[in-house]
């Protein structure tokens, strides 16, 4: 059904090779044995999430030997929507793997088709190999996909449009989820946030500021970051806000090395 989510039991069980075929290692296939049914990560069956209603989650059957990539995903776009940010970032960091995560299956399929078409247009087969999109509920399964400290950047662009009507627990930035962002980000890694809803901006700043693992990035550094320019102009939601002459509120947070707990 539409609400069926498939997720890996642990990051090592994830077969990334189908998402990034251009980055598959030539080496022989791994001979690791299956960890199926063991070490269950965060699973389904807990509280319902937001608008998507009840969902069931299934751990993917662990493949005994999937092809390894030559590098790991380093950048995640949380709730990537139609993929504008991924497509715009791809050429600016060609050697970095970026992953869009989106809960709506049709939107996910749209982005996957979009990436397939972009790849096919490149005769040399090099462009857009570094971006991919998968269907996931980022509020539940982030540590199933990424190891501790794996990511250098997490983008949260125009989340929670119905912010005011959402319960605290159902928000993309919250005390609980910030602990997960801190877990998957490496020290020095950055959480990028942007929204047109000022109350949501204040909420995100308040909650990330309060977390001992994060410090806010200075405005000077923020404005010098090319990813910020791309984030402001290239997401579909950002373009909509532009057309409606709305405001955009940006805040960046750095994952600290040694949080003072």
CB atoms within 10 A of CB 160: 20
Residue 80 binds ligand SAM, judged by CB under 6 A = yes
- The answer to whether 160 is a known catalytic residue is yes
Kindly state whether residue 157 participates in binding ligand SAM, applying the rule CB under 6 A: yes
Distance (Å, whole) CA 150 – CA 74: 6
Placement of tokens 């005994």 in the chain: 64
Q: Which is nearer to ligand SAM, 23 or 237 (CB)?
A: 237
Residue 59 or 67 with smaller CB distance to ligand SAM: 59
Residue 88 · residue 229 · CB < 8 Å: no
Token pair, residue 80, equals: 């990537």
CA atoms within 13 A on the CB side of 138: 30
Please give the structure tokens belonging to residue 23.
């980055």
Touching ligand SAM, residues 122-151 (CB under 6 A): 136-139
Looking only at the bridges linking them, the beta strands covering 131-135 and 151-157 are: unpaired
Among residues 97, 101, 177, 190, which is the contact residue for ligand SAM, using CB under 6 A? Answer: 101
Residue found by looking up tokens 């605290």 in the block: 168
Stretch that binds ligand SAM, among 36-44, 124-132, 198-206, 230-238 (CB under 6 A): 230-238
CB-wise, 23 or 155, nearer to ligand SAM? Answer: 155
> In this chain, which of 102, 111, 132, 208 binds ligand SAM, going by CB under 6 A?
102
- Site for ligand SAM, rule CB under 6 A: 49-50, 79-81, 84, 101-104, 107, 136-139, 157-159, 161, 235-238
């Amino acid at each position: 059904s539409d609400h069926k989510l498939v997720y890996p039991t642990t990051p090592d069980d994830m077969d990334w090779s189908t998402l990034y075929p251009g980055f598959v290692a030539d080496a022989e296939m791994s001979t690791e044995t299956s960890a199926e049914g063991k070490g269950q990560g965060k699973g389904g069956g807990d509280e319902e999430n937001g608008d998507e209603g009840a969902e069931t989650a299934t751990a993917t059957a662990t493949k005994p030997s999937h092809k390894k990539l030559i590098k790991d995903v380093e950048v995640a776009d949380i709730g990537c929507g139609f993929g504008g940010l991924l497509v715009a970032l791809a050429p600016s960091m060609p050697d970095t793997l970026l992953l869009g995560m989106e809960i709506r299956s049709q939107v996910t399929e749209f982005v996957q088709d979009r990436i397939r078409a972009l790849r096919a247009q490149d005769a040399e087969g090099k462009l857009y190999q570094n971006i991919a999109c998968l269907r996931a509920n980022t509020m539940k399964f982030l540590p199933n996909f990424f190891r501790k400290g794996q990511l250098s950047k997490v983008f949260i662009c125009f989340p929670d449009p119905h912010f005011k009507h959402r319960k605290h627990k159902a928000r993309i930035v919250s005390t609980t989820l910030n602990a997960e962002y801190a877990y998957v980000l490496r020290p020095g890694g950055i959480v990028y946030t942007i929204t047109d809803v000022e109350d949501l901006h204040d909420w995100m700043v308040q909650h990330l500021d309060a977390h001992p693992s994060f410090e806010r990035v200075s405005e000077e550094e923020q404005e010098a970051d090319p990813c910020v320019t791309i984030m402001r102009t290239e997401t579909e939601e950002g373009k909509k806000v532009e057309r409606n002459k709305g405001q955009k509120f940006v805040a960046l947070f750095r994952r600290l090395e040694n949080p003072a707990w």
